[in-house]
Amino acid sequence: MSTGKIVSLLAQADIGVYAVSLDQRIVFWNRGAERILGYTAEQVVGRYCYEVVGGVTPGGLTPACQEGCPSLRALQAGSVPRAVEMQLLSISGERKTVPLTTMVVSGAIRDMPIIVHLFESGDWAADRDRAATEVRHELTGSGVDIFSDRAAAAAPVAATDTLTPRELEVLRLVSLSRTTDEIATELGISAHTVRNHVRHFRRKLGAATKLEAVLTALRQGVLDWN
């Protein structure tokens, strides 16, 4: 399923939902998130999540995601991201304490993973688990792969010592859904060279597709935006 179709499913959720790309830029923001925090999608899409919601744990000062996504760190540790209580910054400047559930969701072969955040507040918070379960069932029932649910298995040995700096650079851009031509333009190399790098990192990561290579690299901690 494409990322666009995944977003269409999330738009129907009754609770707050936002999704970010692997470099933590907001790519989706539903009406539930607008109801709770006050920001419209137009105000936040394309911005870094820690610049907008600045989620901190109760009593904390530094946004938990400012030094890298906690969900990705959980995957790299071989564990499933757990629901946590967070204080998110609203448009008024008030911090709202919400239960936050995250999922790393992979799209189709040409669509890279996104990190989905589900949350609710106030009198609605008691319904968060039910609503989050409904969203999960809707996604899996539509053929969406919730990659983070499989992260409990031991992570394989990292391949950072075998990928060249250029291969890592291309892999990073691939993970952000850049096309071959876009990568070639950004790096100042030919499309043929890009395809060679893709072929090399797929082989080194034991991946049949670019998506599989990205998912493997996430689990191994090869991709790092810190």
Helix, strand, coil share (%) of the chain residues, nearest 5? 45, 15, 40
Domains by residue range for the chain, with CATH: 3-150 (3.30.450.20), 165-220 (1.10.10.10)
Whole-number Å distance between alpha carbons of 64 and 76: 16
- pLDDT the model gives residue 196: 97
| pTM of the model as a whole | 0.77
Angle between helices 128-141 and 3-11 (to 10 degrees): 150
46-103 pLDDT, tens per residue? 999 989 998 877 766 677 777 777 877 777 776 767 778 888 999 999 999 888 888 8
